[in-house]
Amino acid sequence: MKNLKFILVAILAFATVFSITSCEEEDESTPGPLTLHFENRAGSSTLNFGQAYNNEAGESLTFSTFNYYISNIKLKKADGTYYTVPKDSSYFLIDGEDNESHEITLNDVPGGDYVGFEFVLGVDSLKSASDIGQRTGVLDPAGAAQGMYWMWNSGYIFVKVEGTSPAVTEVDGHFFYHIGGYGGYSSPTINNLKNISLEAHNSEKASVSKDAHPEVHIYADVLEVFKSPNSLSVAQSPVVMFAPQSTDIANNYADMFSINHIHND
Amino acid sequence: MLQHKTTAFFKPYLARSTISISKTINRMINSHKKYTASLIIFITLQFIAACNGEEVQPDISLFLPSNFPPPVYDISSNPITPEGFALGKKLFYDPILSRDSTIACGSCHIPFSSFSHVAHSVSHGIDDKLGTRNAPPVMNMLWHTTFFWDGGVHTLDLVPFNAIQNPVEMDENIANVYEKLRRQPTYRQLFTAAFGSEDINTQTFAKALSQFSLMLVSANSRYDKYIRNESGGELTAEELEGLALFKQKKCNTCHATDLFSDFSFRNNGIKEDLTVDKGRYLVTLNPDDMGRFKVPSLRNLSQTNPYMHDGSITTLEGVLEHYAEGVLLSETLDTLLQQPDGTLGIPMTSPEQAKIIVFLKTLNDIDFNKDPRFAE
């Protein structure tokens, strides 16, 4: 009996010590937070609303709105495998006017080194066609999605760019680009969803663990909306919303993101 | 910014829709005469009930007519309860939903006209989507596959947001509506009774309105009773001839089933210039969908004039004349309305047209239009 007790205690003690050391050893793979910080840019400078910038067509643009949806985030590890953020917590609206919305903090990301990530620019078709029960948070048409939701087709505006330009002669010199279209519910239509894939440069990586909180600094360049592959002139097309031309603009903004640098604090 | 612009942009249309509303009110007063008797009886009954201290609990069991196809709306996602229905009804008739508290859903979707309304403009709120649209009757929504003339919205629950936020309809911000509702203790109580929480949000708000709309089932016309072999379902020889002609002339290809719509999008030749309101094209951007609109039901036509998405035809005689000799050619005109010899429309003599109209009138559902459960 005594012997048995002793053995039990010994096993317990051993197990405890072992689990403590194993914690230390596997520290790297314990989940931790990771922040994606979106910085809106206009070419080589930070985008400031109210300040003028030139597009590729040489027109002077002053922006007042630059909003976009990010969803379905996947993080790429150094070994080529992916961590997919749970779908329900993977919808974000980056609102040009709300600085807090520029930082997406993902919690409980499995520990490890991340060298890139993928996401959908827009709200995927499944979610866009979902019933009312799923339209909560940033997808609530009466809440955060107000102004980013088309009531008449129950779809979301993926990217919204507005401002003024002396080049525009109509509507008091305003331009409006409201780009959306998820492919249609029952009949096919334009699909302006873009899969974005970004890689870190110079062998930078985001090392996630429970004690480290890396931050990936991403640039979103509004001037890319106006160029490559299709040069967009505000004078020629001051308003583009749900129309065939919107696919040209979506093809432009597909490359507006880049990873600028990564902090590992 | 845009919000302001569009509002200014739509001023003339706003004015026009106000005129239509006053027209409707006149019509309501007229139709009131017809129903005064029944109204008085109903009100009296209510008083008696009230005096007895009884709760007037309306029957909210959903009417699923045996002559209808299976429902489309997933009722299990939003089961109708007496409390949810009562809340939905209150919301439907409450002008608090509009910016200046003058217009309720029920101002445009009036019970005496099968929850429809005379022509008024509507738009998608952005410049290239302007169109003059006639308010369709809110009835038999349980069977609709899409909503609005262009089918832009795919679930009934998302319909109210369109009306509320539309600058030519209620011109109100939904978040404001929730705020206004939250400030009223009655609404907090009603939401708690219906959904177990006084939280007023997109989900509970929309579901309550849907519960009311879903209950608006019209399927007790003389024709329905005839089809279901029920008492009161006698059709005259002329009406039966009209029904036969309705099928023979292939009206029922588009106006199919006892819902009288296959819910497809078609161009029935009322316009040559399809750019005035591009219809289904606005939703799909498919050129083949230019000028196509959702096939409307033909129930309660005596209450739902004017007809067509733009309210351009005011009488049933006009509609039949249109099909017989007024169909206009355009690129997407339905092939059913183009005869092999190149003539347009559906060949029909005047007596044939008259008989079809006689039949269409058997689809009027008087019980529905004056059902006290649905009236304000």
Q: Where are the domains of chain B?
A: 2-52, 75-218, 222-368
**What residues of chain A lie within 8 A of the CB of B284, using their CB?**
184, 187-189
B223: part of which helix (H) or strand (E)? Answer: helix B222-227
Does A188 contact B at CB distance below 8 Å? yes
Top residue of B156, B203, B209 to mutate, by most chain A CBs within 10 Å, is: B203
Does B202 contact A at CB distance below 8 Å? yes
Contact A264, A112 (CB under 8 A): no
- Sign (positive/negative) of CA torsion B365, B160, B133, B23? positive
Tell me how close the Cα of B203 comes to any Cα of chain A, in angstroms: 6
Q: Give the residue from B230, B228, B258, B231 showing the smallest Cα distance to B243.
A: B258
Helices marked H in B249-346: 251-254, 281-284, 316-321
Enter the CATH code of domain B222-368.
1.10.760.10
The pTM of this model reads: 0.85
pLDDT by residue, tens only, chain B of 376 residues = 233 222 222 222 222 233 233 333 333 333 433 333 333 333 333 333 333 434 456 788 899 999 999 999 999 999 999 999 999 999 999 998 887 777 888 888 877 666 665 433 343 333 333 446 888 999 999 999 999 999 999 999 999 888 777 655 565 688 889 999 999 999 999 999 999 998 999 999 999 999 999 999 999 999 999 999 999 999 999 999 999 999 999 999 999 999 999 999 999 999 999 988 899 999 999 999 999 999 999 999 998 889 999 989 999 999 999 999 999 999 999 999 999 999 999 999 999 999 999 999 999 999 898 898 998 8
Contact A195, A118 (CB under 8 A): yes
How far is it, in rounded angstroms, from Cα B194 to Cα B188? Answer: 10
Query: Identical fold at B75-218 and B222-368?
Result: yes
- Residue A258 scores a pLDDT above 70: yes
How far is it, in rounded angstroms, from Cα B73 to Cα B58? Answer: 22
- Sign (positive/negative) of CA torsion B133, B138, B141, B143? negative
- pLDDT tens digits along A57-108: 999 999 999 999 999 999 999 999 999 999 999 999 999 999 999 999 999 9
Tell me how close the Cα of B87 comes to any Cα of chain A, in angstroms: 18
State the virtual CA torsion across B13, B19, B20, B21 in degrees, nearest 10. Answer: 110
- Residue A18 scores a pLDDT above 50: no
CATH architecture of the domain with residue range B75-218: Orthogonal Bundle (1.10)
Which letter, b or e, does each residue of A196-207 get, where b requires 16 or more Cβ atoms within 10 Å of its Cβ? bebebeeebbbb
Average pLDDT across chain A, whole number: 89
Residue-level pLDDT at B120:
39
Residue B242 CB contacts under 8 Å (≥ 6 apart), including other chains: B355, B356, B357, B358, B359, B360, B362
Residue B176 CB contacts under 8 Å (≥ 6 apart), including other chains: B99
Does B360 contact A at CB distance below 8 Å? no
Q: Is A155 helix (H, G, I), strand (E, B) or coil?
A: strand
- Residue A120 scores a pLDDT above 80: yes
Helices marked H in chain A: 2-25, 125-128, 246-253
Residue-level pLDDT at A21:
42
Residue-level pLDDT at B164:
77
| Minimal Cβ distance to A132: which of B128, B157, B177 | B157
Q: How many Å from the N-terminal Cα to the C-terminal Cα in chain B?
A: 37
**What residues of chain A lie within 8 A of the CB of B2, using their CB?**
162, 176
Residue A211 CB contacts under 8 Å (≥ 6 apart), including other chains: A27, A32
Residue B195 CB contacts under 8 Å (≥ 6 apart), including other chains: B84, B204, B207, B208
- Mean pLDDT confidence for A130-139: 92
- pLDDT tens digits along A168-200: 998 789 999 999 999 988 888 999 999 999 999
Residue-level pLDDT at B102:
79
| Two tokens, residue A40 | 């809106």
How much of chain A, in percent, has pLDDT values that exceed 90? 74
Top residue of A139, A149, A152, A239 to mutate, by most chain B CBs within 10 Å, is: A152
- Mean pLDDT confidence for A5-23: 49
- pLDDT tens digits along A194-243: 999 999 988 899 999 988 999 999 999 999 999 999 999 999 999 999 99
